[in-house]
Amino acid sequence: MAVTSIGARVVRKEDHRFITGKGQYTDDINRPGQAHAVFVRSPHAAATIRRIDTSAARSMPGVVAILTGEDLAADKIGGLICGWMIHSKDGSPMKAGAHPALAHGKVRYVGDHVAVVIAETVLQAKDAAEAVVVDYAVEKPVVDVASALAKGAPAVHAEAPDNRVFSWHLGDKAATDAAFAKARHVTALDIVNNRLIPNAMEPRAAVGDYDSGNDAFTLYTTSQNPHVARLVLSAFIGVAPEHKLRVIAPDVGGGFGSKIFIYAEETVCVWAAKKVGRPVKWTSDRTEAFLSDAHGRDHVTRAEMALDENGRILALRVNTKANLGAYLSTFASSVPTYLYAPLLSGQYDIPAIYAEVDGVYTHTAPVDAYRGAGRPEATFVVERLVEVAAREIGMDPARFRARNYIRKFPHQTPVIMAYDAGDYDASLKKALELADYKGFGRRKREAARRGKLRGIGFSSYIEACGIAPSAAVGSLGAGVGLWESAEVRVNPIGTVEVLTGSHSHGQGHETTFAQLVSDRLGIPIENVSIVHGDTDKVQMGMGTYGSRSGAVGMSAIAKALDKVIAKGKKVAAHVLEAAEGDIEFKDGKFSVAGTDRSAGFGDIALQAYIAHKFNGQELEPGLKEGAFYDPTNFTFPAGVHICELEVDPQTGDVTIEKWTAVDDFGVIINPLIVEGQVHGGIAQGVGQALHEGAVYDPATGQLVTASYMDYRMPRAEDLPSFVVDTTVTPCPSNPLGIKGCGEAGAIAAPAAVVNALTNAVGHEDVPMPATPQAMWRACRKAAQPLAAE
Amino acid sequence: MYAFEFHRPTSLRQAASLLGKAEDGRLLAGGQSLLPMMKLRLASPGTVIDLGAVPGMTGIERKGRSLVIGAMTRHAEVETSPVVKEAIPALAHLVSVLGDPAVRNRGTIGGSLANNDPSADYPAACLALGATIVTNQRRIAADDFFQGVFTTALEEGEIIVKVVFPIPSRAGYEKFRHPASRFALAGVFVARRGGEIRVAVTGAGDSGVFRWHEAEEALKGRFAPKSLDGLTPSTEGMNSDIHADAAYRAHLVGVMARRAVERALRR
Amino acid sequence: MTTVTLTVNGQSVTQAIDPRTLLVQLLRENLRLTGTHVGCDTSQCGACVVHVNGVSVKSCTMLAAQCEGASVTTIEGIAQGGQLHPMQEAFREHHGLQCGYCTPGMIMSAIDIVNRKGTALDEETVRHELEGNICRCTGYHNIVKAVIAGAEAMAGGMRQAAE
């Protein structure tokens, strides 16, 4: 039998259905009698709706209903919510405008939902949607933070007249300013963290179904957290009470954050299902996905780093303007604040840090968490500053980093976080060796002979994962706790179902979670099923994001397993006629200490259910245990990524020659899956650095990059095979020692790429994405002084 | 997609007659451009006439000093054809960087030329090689065929049947791909046949494929990359968008032209 | 409406369809073969790749009506007699998939690559040939590994068949 314990490279259990075409994604689900929804979307970035005329559309073939914001309001369906309260410096709460699922009076970005057409077929619904006549009074939009904050700029929402949702800060301003005042050297950078569009390959979809007999709703949806979707849809939006709403997130084709949020479309599908008395299905096409999925990043930052005469970092000062789009998406406010500024210490011992962040409304799609969420932006600021500072003071960037590394744990940073464990030198050392850093000079000269500019860049990143201790996030404004739940159901024959509140949409939980169970209970992995993604099966859960499912979700399972084993010992004591305290459990066997009497896990499970050997009044029959696990701290995965690349100065084309990643994720359950997570993260980070950027036309607010014809996705040819390795310092803050790995690559990669590009061209003026055109210009800029000589 | 009438004629005559009769009829060859346009509702033909069942429109053969390719010949067939590789290897190379394998399995040379996308690859080859486009009605020289963005000399009811390429002594194609769409941001096909040198540029110009006469003149002195050193077309008439402004596009044309000559000399 | 008759995974199928029906819609909606996916509107992502008459095709960019008389193979049709295709096996063995959405198209394209380029593939070739398939999860690393390994395994299968 193959080894399936913790740490083994177990091939994924879930793969069989995916490689045979038997996955069940939301769009694969059809309900009897279903009708199809198509949304009428705003073609304007900013406009007042004077009138919606649906008369012509209503009479078109196949049309079942056309619903607008007025119908929603009449049914008292509430608006979409943002679940994290941020208070400004002055103590005032953030200024959030209403976010109706179908526009009411105003549209605020291209793609905003104006009405929904429900028809017998998608084509009929599309035809009718085109026939809906909307009379718009078009207004001038603002699409970037600078113009939104300019004097006299049009207000996106009346609630925030200057478009500032909040003016927030973190850290000690006085101490930071004092440190800058005595600095020997100050490195300053203006940084734009480019706006990204998540682009999970499966577009969002929803099927709303209403059972009038039981007055109960079912929503099939592409969600990373179906329980949170149910909570928000019932408690806040008011579509149905919780016990009458079942949310099922079946196989989900990638999320990367974009499927955390509760969107207008699924809200409308559930509501409309009752309204029209038929199941209502909506599937996004890619263009709609570009327009209406929550985008990521989009920061404009001024960052400064103060150094002393020995190359030690004294302080960091950061001012960021974060574009939040036209409405506050579900977790939008937390991303540029508590998921960002607390990471500004990086891996470095920095005595003083002060960060100011303005959240800004614009006439663009809502911006929310995208793989890494705040932490890539923080890492980019820190790692660019560190690299440039090292260059400016003439110190090797690797040495400069090592000089400033934190070496004593736990370490309290000046920005909330208490790092629990890490060994940053170990990752750096290993990465330098794997990357053959010493040989770089030779490779650079060789490249120069071929007319290529070769560069190397580091990113010594840290992230806060395992999100998160409920009380801690509650004190920071979160509307929910961020624990996770698990229920372990042992069947009478000893097979096991684990119900988890985590959701797998590519992460491989059906394998890694089963490994934990197999390991702990000593049963074959085939005998374990992981159940997730259905609110009727799993009681409650917080879902998957923030690299939390290993550290938090599996810890909940571990806790439940402990209870199962404890209960099993009680049963075994009766079966084996021994004192409970003498029962040991190891390798799937309950045994009496110091004797040869034992019973297998399956036998004890059976005994627990037939309940012949014990008194049911003293010991409850059955073997099923649940647990909620609330983490005691964030976890702090960290590592070093090194990017080596070449630039063709003639065309600006960039080739990544080598990628070295050494990550410390604590204990690893399945290296095969962890490596896969790292690979994918790097690709997305490289995408941000070189290829991807959402562009809105500043005059019209049109999304210029609204398809793969204009938004460049990383392709196989754009990437090399990666050198991926790990170091291990177990995480002391959870029972499994896991830190989390899902976002590391995306967090680390952009800075490594840009540091390599700037190293190659010899100056710091390289934007993201560093497209061929941008790099051609950067190469010309580098060449100019030479030409003048 | 909007509704349309669908026909699948089994002869060229039938196809032409359907096309003549149809109001707003479009021929469907490989469909790799037309169908996406129809899906996005940017094209809305009332009648679609599928050429897939019309016999005699495919095939590759060498006829004396010419290479003849049937209009419905798929890109993949051109890419892998030993006849093409022998006669005009630059053409096989061009097809190998056109679209992706699945697109090449469907897309056709006739469809590509009739569509005349300003960033398509084939128009550059036709123009540089001095190809003749043969229709059901007449023969059209490449110089006369391409008449601007998505515009050709094809008349109503006219159907491309085959393309005749004179075989050059040297030819090369280099393209710098559009970062996202992978069409040509700047593609340059150079060809020498006897004393004649032709340089055709696709992707860069705002009115579609064009001949870069300055480069042709420069290469007449000596057919070598060096002859083009420092030569860049005027930015006037160059496309400009978020991916490449006119200056960058013009620069790329120069670079691709030099590399195309290098490639032409490599065989 | 128009009628089309074709063979799908070895079975003859006749369907009356709206001419607008794309091959992928015929497969997914009429035949309930939902393994073939739609990931974009512009023929770029490759989630919909199937084989038509033995070669890879983007089924979102072909009308079902164009498939008259054609033989179509989808992801559901490549395992033989309960035995996975070597390329399917290779994707699983090398963790060449995460969310699984692009996977059917990837596997169908991978088999097509082997059919065209042979069973001894190098990384550069595979990366170039995957031009028309986008994956957002894997960074392609393990997909490339899987395709190379799957190609080798197909060579084994072909040798066996030849014996």
Instruction: Determine whether A587 is exposed, middle or buried from the number of CB atoms within 10 Å of its CB (0-12, 13-18, 19+).
Output: exposed
With respect to residue A677, please indicate whether it lies within any of the assigned structural domains: yes
Angle at which helices C141-162 and C103-117 cross, to 10°: 50
Supply angle C-alpha A524, A529, A530, rounded to 5.
130
Q: Give how far A201 is from chain C: nearest CA, Å.
A: 6
The CATH number given to whatever domain includes residue A427 is: 3.30.365.10
- Strand partners of residue A455: A645
Contacting partners of chain C (3+ CB pairs under 8 A): A, B
Query: Which CATH superfamily groups domain B170-266?
Result: CO dehydrogenase flavoprotein, C-terminal domain (3.30.390.50)
Closest-CA residue of A relative to C91 is A19
Look up residue A671 and give its amino acid.
Answer: P
Contacting partners of chain A (3+ CB pairs under 8 A): B, C
The predicted structure's pLDDT at residue C159: 67
Domains of chain C, residue spans: 2-77, 86-162
A710 interfaces chain B, CB cutoff of 8 Å: yes
Q: Which of C61, C62, C115 to substitute to test the interface with B, most B CBs within 10 Å?
A: C61
The reply to whether residue B245 touches residue A127, judged by beta carbons under 8 angstroms, is no
pLDDT band (50, 70, 90) for residue A687: very high
> Which residue from C44, C74, C101 is facing A254, i.e. has the nearest CB?
C101
**Structure token pair of residue A515:** 């490994």
Which residues of B fall within a CB distance of 8 Å from C49? 102
Q: Give how far C7 is from chain A: nearest CA, Å.
A: 18
The predicted structure's pLDDT at residue C160: 64
The CATH number given to whatever domain includes residue A25 is: 3.90.1170.50
Please say whether the beta carbons of A584 and A566 come within 8 A.
no
pLDDT band (50, 70, 90) for residue A4: confident
**Structure token pair of residue B253:** 């044309």
The predicted structure's pLDDT at residue A616: 86
Which residues of C fall within a CB distance of 8 Å from B100? 44, 46, 131-133
User: In sequence order, which residues have a C-beta less than 8 Å from that of residue A310 and are 6 or more positions away?
Assistant: A403
C97 interfaces chain A, CB cutoff of 8 Å: yes
C116 interfaces chain A, CB cutoff of 8 Å: no
pLDDT band (50, 70, 90) for residue A430: very high
User: In sequence order, which residues have a C-beta less than 8 Å from that of residue A769 and are 6 or more positions away?
Assistant: A194, A687, A688, A689, A690, A691, A692, A693, A712
Statement: the pTM of the whole predicted model exceeds 0.95: yes
Average pLDDT over residues B180-205: 96
> How do strand A638-647 and strand B196-202 relate by DSSP bridges?
unpaired
CA distance C111 to C116: 9
The predicted structure's pLDDT at residue A240: 94
Where is the domain boundary, A561, A595, A629?
Answer: A629
The reply to whether residue C130 touches residue A715, judged by beta carbons under 8 angstroms, is yes
| Torsion from C-alpha of A289, A291, A295, A300, nearest 10 degrees | 160
Residue A705, Cα to own-chain centre: how many angstroms?
22
Say how many CB pairs under 8 Å bridge A and C: 180
Query: Which CATH superfamily groups domain C86-162?
Result: [2Fe-2S]-binding domain (1.10.150.120)
Q: What is the pLDDT of residues C63-91, one digit of tens each?
A: 999 999 999 999 999 999 889 999 999 99
The predicted structure's pLDDT at residue A152: 96
* Peptide bond just before A198 cis, omega within 30 deg: no
Is the domain of A366 the same as that of A247?
A: no
Percent of chain A whose predicted confidence (pLDDT) is above 70: 99
pLDDT band (50, 70, 90) for residue A546: confident
Local structure of C99: helix, strand or coil:
coil
**Structure token pair of residue B27:** 């021929």
With respect to residue A75, please indicate whether it lies within any of the assigned structural domains: yes
CA distance B235 to B248: 9
C51 interfaces chain B, CB cutoff of 8 Å: no
Q: Give how far B31 is from chain C: nearest CA, Å.
A: 7
**Structure token pair of residue A542:** 């917080």
C1 interfaces chain B, CB cutoff of 8 Å: no
Dihedral class, residue B137 (left if φ above 0, else alpha if ψ from -120 to 50, else beta): alpha
C33 interfaces chain A, CB cutoff of 8 Å: yes
CA distance A58 to A53: 10
**Nearest C-alpha neighbor of A157 from the set A295, A320, A333, A325:** A325
Is the domain of A578 the same as that of A723?
A: no
C66 interfaces chain B, CB cutoff of 8 Å: yes
The reply to whether residue B180 touches residue A711, judged by beta carbons under 8 angstroms, is yes
Is the domain of A42 the same as that of A65?
A: yes
Average pLDDT over residues A665-672: 97
> Which residue from C33, C42, C131 is facing A715, i.e. has the nearest CB?
C131
Domains of chain B, residue spans: 5-49, 60-166, 170-266
CA distance A607 to A593: 20
Q: What is the pLDDT of residues A211-232, one digit of tens each?
A: 999 999 999 999 999 999 999 9
The predicted structure's pLDDT at residue C156: 84
CATH of domain C2-77: 3.10.20.30
| Confidence check: pLDDT of A615 > 70 | yes
CA distance A637 to A729: 9
Average pLDDT over residues A462-480: 91
Average pLDDT over residues A660-674: 97
Domain B5-49 has CATH 2.170.240: no
| Confidence check: pLDDT of B30 > 90 | yes
**Nearest C-alpha neighbor of A652 from the set A764, A735, A573, A766:** A766
Contacting partners of chain B (3+ CB pairs under 8 A): A, C
The predicted structure's pLDDT at residue A788: 38
Where is the domain boundary, A600, A629, A658?
Answer: A629
End-to-end, the C-alpha distance of chain C in Å comes to 49
Average pLDDT over residues A398-426: 97
User: In sequence order, which residues have a C-beta less than 8 Å from that of residue B22 and are 6 or more positions away?
Assistant: B5, B46, B47, B49
Residues of chain C with pLDDT under 70: 159-163
Closest-CA residue of A relative to B180 is A712
Which residues of C fall within a CB distance of 8 Å from B48? 19, 63
| Confidence check: pLDDT of A448 > 60 | yes
* Peptide bond just before A468 cis, omega within 30 deg: yes
Q: Which residue reads 């054609």 in tokens? A: C70
**Structure token pair of residue C117:** 């380029």
Domain range B60-166, its CATH number among 3.30.390.10, 3.30.70.1020, 3.30.465.10, 2.40.50.140:
3.30.465.10
Structural domains counted in chain A: 3
Q: Which of A654, A773, A776, A780 to substitute to test the interface with B, most B CBs within 10 Å?
A: A773
Please say whether the beta carbons of A234 and A240 come within 8 A.
yes
Is the domain of A221 the same as that of A335?
A: no
Q: What is the pLDDT of residues B220-261, one digit of tens each?
A: 999 999 999 999 999 999 999 999 999 999 999 999 999 999
C131 interfaces chain B, CB cutoff of 8 Å: yes
- Strand partners of residue A352: A315
> Which residue from B1, B180, B243 is facing A773, i.e. has the nearest CB?
B243
Q: Which residue reads 């595979």 in tokens? A: C126
Q: Give how far A20 is from chain C: nearest CA, Å.
A: 6
Q: Give how far C68 is from chain A: nearest CA, Å.
A: 23
pLDDT band (50, 70, 90) for residue B185: very high
The predicted structure's pLDDT at residue C82: 87
With respect to residue A205, please indicate whether it lies within any of the assigned structural domains: yes
Closest-CA residue of A relative to C135 is A201
The reply to whether residue B102 touches residue C20, judged by beta carbons under 8 angstroms, is no
> How do strand A598-600 and strand A411-412 relate by DSSP bridges?
unpaired
Is the domain of A340 the same as that of A265?
A: no
Where is the domain boundary, A272, A292, A312?
Answer: A292
Domain range enclosing A265: 17-139+201-254+259-292
Dihedral class, residue A232 (left if φ above 0, else alpha if ψ from -120 to 50, else beta): alpha
Q: What is the pLDDT of residues A693-719, one digit of tens each?
A: 999 999 999 999 999 999 999 999 999
Which residues of C fall within a CB distance of 8 Å from A719? 127, 139-141
**Nearest C-alpha neighbor of A366 from the set A224, A229, A474, A264:** A264
User: In sequence order, which residues have a C-beta less than 8 Å from that of residue A204 and are 6 or more positions away?
Assistant: A221, A222, A258, A259, A263, A265, A283, A284, A289, A293
**Structure token pair of residue A218:** 């079912």
With respect to residue A157, please indicate whether it lies within any of the assigned structural domains: no
**Interface predicted TM-score (ipTM):** 0.97
With respect to residue A130, please indicate whether it lies within any of the assigned structural domains: yes
pLDDT band (50, 70, 90) for residue A787: very low
| Confidence check: pLDDT of B267 > 80 | no
The predicted structure's pLDDT at residue A531: 96
Is the domain of A685 the same as that of A748?
A: yes
Local structure of A72: helix, strand or coil:
helix
> Which residue from B179, B242, B248 is facing A776, i.e. has the nearest CB?
B248
Q: Give how far C121 is from chain A: nearest CA, Å.
A: 15
CA distance C143 to A19: 12
